[in-house]
Amino acid sequence: MENGFNWLDTLVVVAYFIGITGYGLWLTRRVKSSDGFFRGNRSFNKWIMIAQGFGAGTHSENFVAQTGASFQMGFASIWYQWKNMVITPFYWLIAPWYRRSERTTVGEIVEDRYGSLMALFYSIFAILFFIFAQGAMLKGAGKVISVATSNMISTDGVVYAMTIAFIVYSFFGGLVSSAYATFIQGFMIIALSIMLIPLGLGEVGGISGMRETLPENFFNLFSPEIGIGAFTIAMLALNGVIGITAQPHMVSMCATGRTERDGRIGQTYGSFVKRAVTIGWAFTGLIVAALIIHNGQDLHDPEMAFGYATRELLFPGLTGLMVASILAANMSSASNFMVNTGALFTQNIYKGYIKKKPADKELLWMGRVSSLVLTLLGVLFALYIDSVLHAFLFIETIAAFMGIMIFGGIVWKRANRYGAIAAVLSSFILYYYLNYAHSGTLEIVYKWRPEPFGWAMLLGFVMLTAVSLMTKPESKEKTDRFFDNMLRLSDEDRMKNGQKPMAAEMGHDLLLLDLPSWFTRERWKGFPQRYREDLLGFLFAWLFVGGLVLLAWGILLLG
């Protein structure tokens, strides 16, 4: 097998860059307004929504970190990525929140619930979230591609080329170009997730050869010995279900489809596609661990495992396809994040504090320029971080602390801005204090541990509850208006006389709305019919959870 990166691989990568950038630019003709740029005019079908849910949630740091973790610790490390597996059915229940808000950004939802100052606080966090996330993605792509090409392409070169490409089509085409390009790139991400497996198995003597080479605990689905026990999985799941509600791209993920169901399907089943391909990433890590032993070599950085496998296993042309697929995984997410960053700055900072009533054309161009500038800051964060896995968990952890106020504000009507800010600040402070006390060093990105996270989340929810009860409630008129939107179906084709119908009448009432009201008789009236959409979708999603866990378990029994 001829390894390395040759002219054929270069041709494949160049063809990909030209093709995806040209396709994205071709789609820019559809963008005529700021709503088209930021929300795609809420016109995407369920397949595009699934592609968005999968593509925007799947980045190069995911498979870099997962393959590296499996290479180092065994298959059970899949739970670092599968932390959201057990809460994915809840996406079906959460997705309608964002569409029913009738807003463009999560920052505007925060403003409706808690006021303009809290919206500004959230928007600053959200912009930093996107900067950190893009930095982690760039770092992940650089690690893989530099190894895969035998350092023919430098990490910085990868970052620059990729950034230029997705900026070009996202700058002009916004979410329309991002969403449709992501649909194409989704197939490439799936390809990269399975491409290495058959070739790798051939090199290490199949699954039986791997079992003879590696320790038995590398084939466990759960492994408390490496810190992946029940408590860790529970804390990772809590991280996921609370954190997802605050992630600033949730409006584009859940509220840009033609109907509410399209948003539910996209977020839930796009995520399930990611859970499925994660099995391939974890299995690839085991293959590389065995391959390294067979070759008598060593990797100084486990996160180089995916790039090593690409370099050692693939034929000319396939290496280029793999590099293009890695770029696709990054560019689909980075493009979506870029558009959302521009939306946040434009809708929540520029429109709110710089110019109160800008023309729509001005909003469109401000969105483009701000998304460009803020995206470039992600490059600086990429230069700072070392571990992609720790950066990935750090990003999701800070979202979880912010998520206390968003999740809490929807499931509890009495939550107010004072409780919200107390919850977020106290959880951040305790998390950093506990990590500082453990390590003795003050850092931005700590190695993720479940205990500090669990204590910080507990304190956050206690503070949200206690401070909200001890302080003045939010305006009744504003709160009632917010929750009235949540009670109404937002599908335009079901409107009656220009008014949104009550969701309960259509079987679309929300189970997770204002949980204390479940202690009233009114909430239980017509229960099966009233919550039909939530109940059936939630239960059906759990079948997918069980099926994927059984699939992974069955694979580990082979050989």
- In the predicted model, what is the mean pLDDT of residues 120-147? 78
Mean pLDDT of the chain: 83
- Which of the two residues, 42 and 202, has the higher pLDDT score? 202
CA distance 26 to 500: 35
**Cβ atoms of 226 and 77 closer than 8 Å:** yes
Q: Say what the pLDDT of residue 190 is.
A: 72
**For residue 479, what are its two tokens?**
């709160």
Instruction: Return all residues near 22 (Cβ < 8 A) that are at least 6 apart.
Output: none
Residues with Cβ within 8 Å of 121's Cβ and at least 6 positions away in sequence, in order, are 421
β partners of residue 44: 257
Q: What pLDDT does 31 receive? A: 56
* Cβ proximity of 186 and 52 under 8 Å: no
pLDDT (mean) for 73-93: 89
pLDDT(411) > 90: yes
Per the domain annotation, does 372 fall within a domain?
A: yes
Is 247's pLDDT higher than 70? yes
Supply the DSSP string of 58-109, one letter for each residue: --HHHHHHHHHHHHHH-GGGGGGTGGGGGGHHHHHHHTHHHHHTT-SSHHHH
| pLDDT at residue 71, rounded to an integer | 93
Instruction: Look at residue 314 in the predicted model and tell me its pLDDT.
Output: 81
What pLDDT score does 48 carry? Answer: 81
Kindly tell me if the per-residue pLDDT of 328 is higher than 70: no
Residue 458 forms part of a structural domain: no
Greater pLDDT, 22 or 121: 121
Residue 97 contacts residue 411 (beta carbons within 8 Å): no
Q: What is the pLDDT of residue 2?
A: 47
Judge whether 320 lies within some domain: yes
Report phi then psi at 257, rounded to 5: -80, 170
**For the residues 359-371, what does the mean pLDDT come to?**
75
The per-residue pLDDT for range 476-487, each reduced to its tens digit, is: 999 999 999 999
pLDDT at residue 232, rounded to an integer: 83
Look-up of token digits 């080329």: 161
Residue 464, domain member (yes or no) = no
Highest mean pLDDT among 23-27, 308-312, 322-326, 546-550: 546-550
**Span 119-147, mean pLDDT?**
78
Mean pLDDT value across residues 174-194: 62
Kindly tell me if the per-residue pLDDT of 156 is higher than 70. Answer: no
The answer to whether the beta carbons of residues 271 and 57 sit under 8 Å apart is yes
Q: Which residue has the tokens 């720790």?
A: 390
pLDDT for position 418: 98
Residue 153: inside a domain: yes
pLDDT of residue 101: 92
Query: What average pLDDT score do residues 301-320 get?
Result: 82
Better-scored residue on pLDDT, 52 or 551: 551
**pLDDT at res. 320:** 81
Name the band, by pLDDT with cuts 50, 70 and 90, for residue 62.
confident
- pLDDT value of position 35: 55
Residue-wise pLDDT tens digits, 37-61: 545 556 678 888 887 777 766 766 6
**Alpha carbon distance, N-terminus to C-terminus of the chain:** 26
Q: Does residue 544 belong to any structural domain of this protein? A: no
Q: Using CA atoms, how far apart are residues 461 and 190, in angstroms rounded to an integer?
A: 38
Higher pLDDT, 131 or 154: 131
pTM for the model stands at 0.80
User: How far out from the chain centre does Cα 22 lie?
Assistant: 26
Q: Is 1's pLDDT higher than 50?
A: no
- Asked if the structure places residue 367 within a domain, the reply is yes
Query: Which of 3-17, 98-112, 161-175 has the lowest average pLDDT?
Result: 161-175
Q: What is the CATH number of the domain that holds 51?
A: 1.20.1730.10
- What digits encode the pLDDT tens for the residues 460-508? 999 999 999 999 999 999 999 999 999 999 886 667 767 789 999 999 9
**Of the candidate ranges 292-296, 317-321, 348-352, 512-516, the one whose mean pLDDT is the lowest:** 348-352
What whole-number distance in Å separates Cα of residue 19 and Cα of residue 145? 20
Q: What is the mean pLDDT of residues 221-243?
A: 82
Whether 283 has a pLDDT exceeding 60, the answer reads yes
pLDDT for res 51: 78
Cα–Cα distance for residue pair 281/224, rounded to 1 Å: 21
Polymer length of the chain: 559
Q: Is the pLDDT of residue 458 over 70?
A: yes
Instruction: For residues 192-212, give the mean pLDDT.
Output: 88
- Report the distance separating Cα 451 and Cα 430, nearest Å: 11
Provide the number of structural domains found in the chain.
Answer: 1
Residue 379 has pLDDT above 80, yes or no: no
Q: Is residue 448 part of a domain?
A: no
Q: Which domain holds residue 79?
A: 7-385
Percent of the chain at pLDDT > 90 equals: 39
In the prediction, which pLDDT does 469 show?
A: 98
